[in-house]
A and B are shown apart, each in its own frame.
Chain A
Amino acid sequence: MDYNLIVTLIVVLPLLATVVNGLGLLAGDKFHFKTVQNITTNAILLSFIGSIWVFTQVLADPTPKQVHLYSWLVSGDVKINIGFMIDALSSIMMLVVTGFAFLISTFSKNYMHEDYSFTRYFTALALFVYAMLILVMGNNYVMLFIGWETVGVCSYLLIGHYYSRLSASRAGTKAFLMNRVGDAGFLMGIFIMVTYFGTVDYAEVLAKAPGMDSGVATAIGLSLLLGAIGKSAQLPLGTWLAKAMEGPTPSSALIHAATMVTAGVYMIVRSHAIYDMAPNALLVIAIIGAITAVYGGVVGLVITDIKGILAFSTTTQLGLMFLACGLGAYAVAIFHLVAHAFLKSFLFLTAPSVLSHMHGSGDPSEKDTQGAPAPVFRLILVGTVALALVPFLAGWWTTDVTAGSGNLQTFVLVAIGLMAVFATIYYSKRMMAHSFAEHGPAGHDEFGGNHAHDHGDASSGSPGSGMVGPLATLAVLAAAGLALGLLPGGVDSTWFNQFMSPVVSVQASQAGGNPVLAYLLFAAIGLLLLSSWFTAVYMDRFKPELSSALIKMRWAYALVVNRFYLDELYDALFISSTKRLGKALDRFDTNVIDRIVGAPTGTTHVTTALTTWEQRFLAAKGGAAGATLLASPLTGWTADEQKQDQKDAIDSPGVVGWLTGVSARTSGWTEKSVIEPASGLMGSAAQMAATDAAWVEKNVVSRASGVAGWVTENAAFDTAWIEKNIIGKSSGIIGTLTDFLGGVSAWLEHHLFGEGVNVGIPYTSGVFARFMLKMEALLSKPAVIIAVAILLSSIIFGVLS
């Protein structure tokens, strides 16, 4: 078959599945559940098979291939094509995306079986695969962005899957918005790119990148990084990931662990040619990655919610990937990405079984109340400690690089090896949990109904037959992946590096030897050491006797268990102050702008003028009926039909009546609009001095509500002040203009109609009448008649002759 056709089909098939399922859903969930699940799963399976084929093609011929579909948007010098680029990086990502999506959709068949919106889930899943494929296969940055945004929407939909739960819908909104902050940066990067390179195609941009200006490279790099931070849940935009666990567990596994969140890493590796020109941007990546890894590790230690632990472990691992990117070890980052996808899907898909022991609460600390066995708790403890250890070791490896020994690969291997060890331990512990599950506590059935969505087969409490297959496959894949991991890692001669070499030929370590980074990493290690020590103490925090020093250190635990209060901080700093600012502006809008610009029909004097005029008009026309009659030719209104709207009619006497005299104020407008505000301003100056003192006292001395609060307060206060002192006295621009127009029309009315017509006509007719009377008087005299007769006859004769 045609290469282009296959590549296109890989993308189109999941989209077709989305459309078909979506239409069925819109038509009222018409399809049988088997049809729905088969459509999605089979479409993804076919894409996966296609991806394998494409992968073999890339193995055979690693040069990047372009597939051009059509020109989507051509605007001046900006042209954006829909097309794909297949190279080592995208083919690996395609395998990851379609492969895991296939496994997870198969798993979901059983898991989501009793869900009340089964079809919605599978539709969103297929859409996600499509979007993710667009993201990794696109041949330009705009395609990347399209996929980026669309996976964001899918993530929003899946986080908020149980949307009647308020926390779920909030988490969805939060994730979307935090990603949106990153997207703004991403877009900025694209625009700089368009301006600088005149193109967004990878091939052209990356070809031109080596010669580019370092300042521009840094600007692009940092802008793109902002996007990556949002999508890959790095600090400071990473707090949405923990909340994203509100979604169904399989979708969390796919989106918020294995694939979507790694899009940031993909983007950085894809753009490495730009980053290579911007060492400062790389340093920032490394620092952000390191801080995030430590943050995730430390918080993961104390989190008691199993999905939370997994989420923070994801955060940690993503931080490590960023760190690897920041050190220029792009191939390592991608390898880590793949290995992490294996590991994390496995952990997530086993989480439901653990949850089933916890009766759906997802909080291991409830074990005692539920009578759950100690092994499960120990299992999680081991997992937690191991997850915390990964950044520790990773820190060691990078420090070594920084110190200049250059033995990067060894330590990469150790780190990845540790992941393997962790996975093995975890897996064996899982087996224990499984065997335990079959002899579950007696109380299980009572709770079975409450958490039906948390595991596929409510009757057994352990993975149903449909889930064992994928789990086993994943386990084998995980083992294989990690075993493979011992082969390549970061060593240049390994097949993975060779495979990736057309994409990331540079194994540079630009940030190497940077003292800031080195100190940062040392600090990180110190913190980790401390944290693991504290953990040892606080894991037994119910022990009665603690040394007084440690009790005093309890705040540290509180700090960590509350995720460093980042959510609260953001809420206080941005969200609530934004809302307050919005409210202040809303008041400002109503009270200030509206009055400055004018509210001609508000309570100010303009209304009176208008009403007066209307009254005069109505009086002149004989009431409302006359006015509506006058208006009727324009609108087809008749007086009869108007009766039902009689009340309105009195208020609105028709457009003609209204338009003829917009307002009838003659003088006075100057006085009210110009003189009064002026005096208002003078008076207000004095008042301002007085209020300022009170204000300083109230806001600065007695309160310290932070800068944001201060700004908001200030805005609100000023609003009130302006409102009181300036607005109260004036009628605003529109009001003034209306007044002016009204004045003009009133002047015209006065002079043309009032004087011209009202005075002129009587005067003229008076003159005329007097003239006529005089004529009459003259004509009554016989001499005049004779004289006129002689005059007329002489004229007539004169003409005739």
Chain B
Amino acid sequence: MNTIQISEIFASDQMGFPILSILVWLPVLTLVLLAFIRNDMAARSLALASTAVELALATMVWLKFDGATANMQFVEHAGLYQLGVDGVSVLFLPVTALLMLLTVMYSEPAVKSGSQRHYLMAMLGFEASMMGAFASVDLLMFWIFFAAEIIPSYFLIANFGTGEKRVAAAKTYLSYMVVASVLVLAGLVMLAGAAGGESTYDWIQLMNSTIPPAAQATIFLLLFLGLAIKAPLFPFHTWMPKVLEQGPIVGMSVYIVGVKLGTYAFLRFVIPLLPEASHQWLWLMATLGVIGIVYGSLIALIQTNLRRLLAFACLAHSGVVMLGLFSLNFVGFQGGLLQMINLGLTSAGLFFVAGFLHTRMGQPDTSGMGGVGQFTPLLAFSFLVIGLAGVGMPGTSGFNGEHLVMIGAYKMHWGMALAVGAGTFLAAGYFLWFYQRAFLGNVVNPSVRTMPDLSSTEMLIAGAMMGVIFWVGLATTPFLHTMEGSLRMLDDRMRHVTGIEAAPLKGVNAILLHDVPSAAHPTAPAADHGAPATPAMPAAPTSH
């Protein structure tokens, strides 16, 4: 059934040096160095330099990446140690690096009590685990990074959290994530042995072999449960409001709302390796996604605390991403993936803004706000722009992701598209309502009058976020090209399962010289290639 065989393109050929290893291990090295530096200032400079290099390297990976192929690129392979990126994972590297740089920049205001150094070390550990998870090709390696992320997170919440109940929140996070990791591990171990023959943790080998549909269901459910906790999906989300409310001002919370390792793993392991099960359990994923959107948005609507609001908004966002991914077609994949990148910019950006508010007035709760915009116009402006991007304004990154998801979802079922649409409406509701209560209107709290506007660091952070938001929004094609090859391959795999007709491959020129897509298509491959095997392919869906 597999039409496209995946192979490896080695980093030595593409880059000349093991760039992914550097990306993963540079933060660890910095972390170790930080253990020996006693000066906070020097520690910050080192961490900043290290994260800046990370961002440069991660951007380099993206620029050098060839979006036309589905092959793993920049591969370093030695036994179980197997790093590589493809169109699904490559964009997460620059987003992770960017957020980390900004978080490190904001470490001074974010750490009120406790040691800067420890905070930076924990953050760097976190970055290493995220980079590792995104760059891993080997299933076990992915899991190790996936699980390793828990340790720095626990410390960040327990020691740098802002709430009274931060220790309890840290424990909640820990227990949820341990459960998630165990379930994911069980799933991955079963997955390794499911292909028949020798058990392998090599993702590429698994992709090139066939996993019998009968074996898929159990693996799917195990992975689903684990990843649903991580993502989070309804009803496994309850750890998140606690963690975000009690956790650090920015810290790894930015990643919880922004960089969705859980939904990424769905696109990396679940959908490509378990296509039949994904199709079979589509209804479950779609239902949970739809419930998550409506439920999360409705609760977000009445929140007065911005961080809790973002937690529930995050639930809704995960729902949107899941609906995109489980549209199981090319546009849906692309939309879901783009939406994940977009969340790394908008949700994380809003969390930064929540952090700015927090450092000014304690919990970012509307009960103490009102009329803030008069005194901090830049803060209000950042909130409005990033928020509108989250709501899906055209010209920002939010528009493209959300609407590709809707198109993809519509192809699967109109109800799914409707739910995403309702989500965007409710998103505008909770966002604008919060903006109105916090930033507009009359001043209720006199301390607002002396509130300082954004500092230069904060302006830099907000400006960087907005810049990238508009960049992705206005010039989307390069980003979509990056995903093209891998997602095309994925779409090809799924088409055999779902029976949804393929999108004809077209370049920009073909678009301008338009031809009618639907009627001519089924016969087109035969006419083009003439190979006896090719016409049999479109017939395959009917057998399912």
Q: Select one of A590, A645, A652 contacting B170, CB under 8 A.
A: A652
A597 touches B299 (CB 8 A): no
In the complex, what distance in Å separates the CA atom of A177 from the CA atom of B435? 13
Q: In the assembly, what is the distance between CA of A173 and CA of B432, in Å?
A: 6
In the bound complex, how far is the Cα of B404 from the Cα of A73, in angstroms?
10
Q: Out of A165, A181, A590, A636, which one reaches B121, CB within 8 Å?
A: A636
A contact residues around B508 at 8 Å (CB): 71, 74, 79
Cβ contacts under 8 Å, A81 to chain B: 511
Beta-carbon contact of A78 and B331 below 8 Å? yes
Chain B 361-373 interface mask (CB, 8 Å, partner A; 1/0): 0000000000101
Contacts of B303 in A (CB 8 A): 586
Within 8 Å by CB of A184, from B35, B235, B425, lies: B425
Q: Which residues of A contact B504 (CB under 8 A)?
A: 77
User: Of all chain B residues, which has the CB nearest A68?
Assistant: B512
How near does chain B come to A36, taking the closest CB pair, in angstroms?
16
**By the criterion CB–CB under 8 Å, are A635 and B121 in contact?**
yes
B334 near A76: Cβ-Cβ < 8 Å: yes
B417, A648: Cβ atoms under 8 Å? no
Pair B295/A585 contact, Cβ less than 8 Å: yes
Separation of A77 and B371 alpha carbons in the complex (Å):
47
Q: Which residue of A lies closest to B442 (CB)?
A: A166
Assess the A734–B175 pair: CB atoms within 8 A.
Answer: yes
Do A599 and B491 form a contact, CB below 8 Å, given A150-B395, A641-B115?
Answer: no
Whether, in the assembled complex, A697 has its beta carbon less than 8 Å from a beta carbon of chain B, the answer is: no
Q: Let me know if A75 and B404 touch, CB within 8 A.
A: yes
Q: Is the CB of B114 within 8 A of A662?
A: no
Report chain A residues within 8 Å CB of B388.
153
Query: Looking at the complex, which one of A71, A181, A184, A578 makes contact with B511 (CB distance below 8 Å)?
Result: A71
Chain B residues with CB under 8 A of A71: 477, 508, 511
Tell me if A644 is interfacial: C-beta within 8 Å of chain B.
Answer: yes
Shortest CB-to-CB span from A689 to chain B, Å, is 27
Contact (Cβ within 8 A) A651 B155: no
Q: Does any Cβ of B come within 8 Å of A258's Cβ?
A: no
A156–B391 alpha-carbon span in the complex (Å): 14
With both chains docked as a complex, state the minimum distance between the C-beta of A590 and any C-beta of chain B, in angstroms: 8
Asked whether any CB of chain B lies closer than 8 Å to the CB of A351, the reply is no
Q: Could you say which residues of chain A place their CB within 8 Å of the CB of B158?
A: 648, 651-652
Stretch at the interface among B73-81, B190-198, B405-413: B405-413
Contact partner of A72 (CB less than 8 A), chosen from B122, B381, B421, B476, is B476
- Interface status of B281 (Cβ within 8 A of chain A): no
Which chain B residues numbered 284 to 332 have a C-beta less than 8 Å away from chain A? 295, 298-303, 329-331
Q: For the complex, is B480 an interface residue (Cβ under 8 Å from A)?
A: yes
Q: Which residues of B contact A655 (CB under 8 A)?
A: 151, 154-155, 174
Contact, CB under 8 Å: A583 / B302? yes
Q: Are A645 and B114 in contact (CB under 8 A)?
A: yes
Task: Assess whether B1 is interfacial by the CB under 8 Å rule.
Answer: no
Contacts of B539 in A (CB 8 A): none
A466-481 CB contact bits vs B (8 Å, 1 = yes)?
0000000000000000
Give the distance in Å from the alpha carbon of A165 to the alpha carbon of B175 in the complex. 47
Q: Are B302 and A586 in contact (CB under 8 A)?
A: yes
- Cβ of B46 < 8 Å from any Cβ of A? no
Q: Do residues A651 and B298 form an inter-chain contact, with CB atoms below 8 A?
A: no
Across the interface, which residues of A come within 8 angstroms of B236, CB to CB?
Answer: 597, 734
Q: How far is the CA of A568 from the CA of B159 in the complex (A)?
A: 49
Q: Is the CB of B418 within 8 A of A188?
A: yes
Q: Is A756 an interface residue (CB 8 A)?
A: no
Q: Are A74 and B432 in contact (CB under 8 A)?
A: no
Point out the residues of chain B lying under 8 angstroms from A590, CB to CB.
Answer: 238
Contacts A79-B511, A163-B441, A582-B298 given; indicate if A636 touches B34 (C-beta within 8 A). yes
Does A53 touch B at the CB level, under 8 Å? no
Chain B residue numbers with a CB within 8 Å of A150 are: 393-395
A737 in contact (CB, < 8 A): yes
The answer to whether A605 has its CB under 8 Å from any CB of chain B is no
Q: Is A707 an interface residue (CB 8 A)?
A: no
Whether B168 is near chain A, meaning CB under 8 Å from some CB there, is: yes
Prevailing SS type, chain B contact patch:
helix
Contacts of A198 in B (CB 8 A): 516-518
Q: Smallest distance from the beta carbon of A127 to chain B beta carbons, Å?
A: 11
Measured as residues with beta carbon below 8 angstroms from the partner, the interface class of chain B is: 35 or more
B378 contacts A by Cβ under 8 Å: yes
- Whether A73 pairs with B298 at a CB distance below 8 angstroms is no
Q: From residue 169 to 198 of chain A, which have CB atoms closer than 8 A to chain B?
A: 169-170, 172-173, 176-177, 180-181, 183-184, 187-188, 191-192, 194-195, 198
Interface string of A412-451 (1 = CB under 8 A from B): 0000000000000000000000000000000000000000
Q: Is B230 an interface residue (CB 8 A)?
A: no
Contact assessment for A169 and B172 in the assembled complex, using a CB-CB cutoff below 8 Å: no
In the bound complex, what is the Cα–Cα distance between A749 and B516 (angstroms)?
Answer: 68
Write out the residue numbers on chain B whose beta carbons fall within 8 Å of the beta carbon of A168.
440
Cβ–Cβ < 8 Å partners of B432 in chain A: 156, 172-173, 176-177
Q: Is the CB of A177 within 8 A of B425?
A: yes
Interface: A534 (CB within 8 A): no
Report Cα–Cα, A594/B238, bound state, in Å.
5
Question: What's the least CB distance linking A124 to chain B, in Å?
Answer: 12
B172 interface neighbour in A79, A164, A601, Cβ under 8 Å: A601
Determine whether the beta carbon of A164 is less than 8 Å from that of B371.
Answer: yes
Closest to B421 in A: A184
In the bound complex, residues from chain B placing their C-beta under 8 Å from that of A578 are: 298, 301, 429
Q: Are B514 and A199 in contact (CB under 8 A)?
A: yes
Residues in chain B near residue A585, CB distance under 8 A: 295, 298-299
**Does A596 belong to the interface (CB within 8 Å)?**
yes
Quick one: which of A581-605 are within 8 Å of B by CB? 581-583, 585-586, 589-590, 593-594, 596-601
Residues of chain B with a CB closer than 8 A to A589's CB: 238, 241, 295, 299
Chain A: minimal CB distance from B290 (Å): 14
Question: Beta-carbon contacts of B52-77 to A below 8 Å, as 1s and 0s?
Answer: 00000000000000000000000000
User: Residue on A with the closest CB to B315?
Assistant: A589
Residues from chain A with a CB closer than 8 A to the CB of B154 are: 652, 655, 658
Closest Cβ neighbor of A632 among chain B residues: B35
Measured between beta carbons, the chain A residues less than 8 angstroms from B299 are: 582, 585-586, 589
A173 is contacted by which of B125, B151, B436, B514 (Cβ under 8 Å)? B436
> Within A183-223, which residues are at the interface with B (CB < 8 Å)?
183-184, 187-188, 191-192, 194-195, 198-199, 201, 204
A641 nearest CB neighbor, chain B only? B115
Contact among A78, A164, A634, A651 with B442 in the assembled complex (CB-CB below 8 Å): A164
Complex contact B235–A188 (CB within 8 A): no
Check B175 against A191 for contact (C-beta < 8 Å).
no
- With A635-B121, A655-B155 given, is the CB distance from A169 to B298 under 8 Å? no
A77 touches B503 (CB 8 A): yes
B158 to A, closest residue via Cβ: A652
- CB pair A734–B176 under 8 Å, yes or no, is yes
- Chain B residues lying within 8 Å of A641, measured Cβ to Cβ, are 115, 118
What separation, in Å, do the CA atoms of A388 and B393 have in the docked complex? 38
Complex contact B428–A180 (CB within 8 A): yes
Smallest Cβ-Cβ distance to A631: which chain B residue:
B155
Q: Do B407 and A169 touch (CB < 8 A)?
A: no
Complex alpha-carbon distance, A547 and B3, angstroms: 87
Q: Which 9 A-B pairs have the closest CB atoms?
A: A169-B440, A636-B35, A146-B394, A77-B503, A582-B302, A76-B503, A594-B238, A76-B330, A600-B175
Q: List 20 A-B contacts (CB under 8 A).
A: A73-B476, A77-B503, A79-B508, A156-B432, A163-B440, A173-B435, A177-B428, A177-B432, A184-B424, A192-B410, A195-B411, A579-B302, A600-B175, A636-B35, A636-B117, A637-B118, A644-B115, A648-B159, A658-B171, A734-B175
Known: A74-B511, A593-B235. 5 other contacts (CB 8 A): A73-B404, A149-B394, A635-B151, A645-B159, A741-B178
B residues whose Cβ falls under 8 Å from a Cβ of A = 31, 34-35, 113-115, 117-118, 121-122, 125, 151-152, 154-155, 158-159, 167-168, 170-172, 174-176, 178-179, 182, 229, 234-238, 241, 295, 298-303, 329-331, 334-335, 371, 373-374, 378, 381, 388, 393-395, 399-400, 403-404, 406-407, 410-411, 414, 417-418, 421-422, 424-425, 428-429, 432-433, 435-436, 439-442, 474-477, 480, 491, 503-504, 506, 508, 511-512, 514, 516-518
